[in-house]
Chain A
Amino acid sequence: MIEATGLTKSYGSKTAVYNLSFRVLPGKVTGFLGPNGAGKSTTMRMILGLDAPTDGSVTIGGHQYRELPNAPRLVGALLDANAKHGGRSARAHLLCLAQLSGIPARRVDEVLDVVGLTQVARKRSKGFSLGMGQRLGIAAALLGDPQVLLFDEPVNGLDPEGIRWVRELMRRLASEGRTVFVSSHLMSEMAQTADHLIVIGRGQLMADLPVRAFIEQNSTGFARLRTPDGDEAGREKLVRVLAEAGGQVQAEPEGTLKVTGVELPRISELAHAADVRLWELSPHHASLEEAYMRMTQGAVDYRSSEDQRSGLQGPPQQAPGGWQQPVGPQGGYAPPPPGAGFGAPPPAHAAPPHPPHAAHQAAAPYRPEDAR
Chain B
Amino acid sequence: MSPMPRVLLSEWTKIRTVRATLWTLVSALLVTVVLGVLISVLLNNTFDDLSREDRATFDPTFISFSGTQLGQLAMIAFGILVVANEYSTGMIRSSLSAVPVRGQLLAAKLAVATALALAVGMVTSFASFLLGQLALGDHRTDLSEPGVLRAVFGTGLYMGLIALFAMGLTWVLRSPLLSFGVQIPFFFMISNILANVPATEKIGQYLPDQAGSRAMAVVDTGDWPYGPWTGLLIMLAWVAAAVLAGWLVLRHRDA
Task: State the A residues within 8 Å of B (CB).
Answer: 45, 48-52, 65-68, 71-72, 75, 77, 79-80, 82-89, 92-93, 95-102, 140
Query: Which of B10, B20, B98 gathers the greatest number of chain A CB atoms within 10 Å?
Result: B98
A96 near B10: Cβ-Cβ < 8 Å:
yes
Task: State the B residues within 8 Å of A (CB).
Answer: 3, 6-7, 9-10, 13-14, 17-20, 85, 89-91, 93-101, 254-255
A83 near B94: Cβ-Cβ < 8 Å:
yes
* A66 with B18, Cβ < 8 A, contacts A50-B96, A100-B7 known: no
A51 near B254: Cβ-Cβ < 8 Å:
yes
For the complex, what is the distance from the CA of A93 to the CA of B6, rounded to whole Å? 15
| Chain A residues near B3 (CB-CB < 8 A) | 102
| Chain B residues near A77 (CB-CB < 8 A) | 94, 97
Task: Give chain A nearest CB distance to B84 CB in angstroms.
Answer: 11
- Smallest Cβ-Cβ distance to A81: which chain B residue: B90
For the complex, what is the distance from the CA of A85 to the CA of B91, rounded to whole Å? 8
Which of B85, B91, B254 is in CB contact (< 8 Å) with A52? Answer: B254
Task: Give chain B nearest CB distance to A128 CB in angstroms.
Answer: 13
Task: Give chain A nearest CB distance to B254 CB in angstroms.
Answer: 4
* A96 with B254, Cβ < 8 A, contacts A48-B97, A83-B89 known: no
| Chain B residues near A86 (CB-CB < 8 A) | 89
* A84 with B100, Cβ < 8 A, contacts A50-B255, A89-B17, A92-B13 known: no
A99 near B9: Cβ-Cβ < 8 Å:
yes
For the complex, what is the distance from the CA of A83 to the CA of B87, rounded to whole Å? 9
For the complex, what is the distance from the CA of A72 to the CA of B98, rounded to whole Å? 5
* A99 with B94, Cβ < 8 A, contacts A51-B255, A52-B254, A87-B18 known: no
| Chain A residues near B254 (CB-CB < 8 A) | 45, 50-52
B93 near A97: Cβ-Cβ < 8 Å:
no
| Chain B residues near A68 (CB-CB < 8 A) | 100
| Chain A residues near B93 (CB-CB < 8 A) | 45, 48, 50, 79-80, 83
* A102 with B255, Cβ < 8 A, contacts A49-B100, A83-B93, A87-B20 known: no
- Smallest Cβ-Cβ distance to A42: which chain B residue: B254
- Smallest Cβ-Cβ distance to B254: which chain A residue: A51
- Smallest Cβ-Cβ distance to A87: which chain B residue: B18
Which of A49, A65, A71, A97 is in CB contact (< 8 Å) with B94? Answer: A97
| Chain B residues near A48 (CB-CB < 8 A) | 93, 96-97
For the complex, what is the distance from the CA of A304 to the CA of B19, rounded to whole Å? 58
Which of A49, A51, A85, A97 is in CB contact (< 8 Å) with B89? Answer: A85
For the complex, what is the distance from the CA of A11 to the CA of B6, rounded to whole Å? 35
For the complex, what is the distance from the CA of A82 to the CA of B91, rounded to whole Å? 9
B97 near A88: Cβ-Cβ < 8 Å:
no
- Smallest Cβ-Cβ distance to B16: which chain A residue: A92
| Chain B residues near A88 (CB-CB < 8 A) | 14, 17-18
For the complex, what is the distance from the CA of A77 to the CA of B10, rounded to whole Å? 18
For the complex, what is the distance from the CA of A347 to the CA of B85, rounded to whole Å? 40
| Chain B residues near A72 (CB-CB < 8 A) | 97-99
Q: Please name the 3 residue pairs, one residue from A and one from B, whose CB atoms are nearest each other, closest first.
A: A83-B90, A99-B10, A92-B17
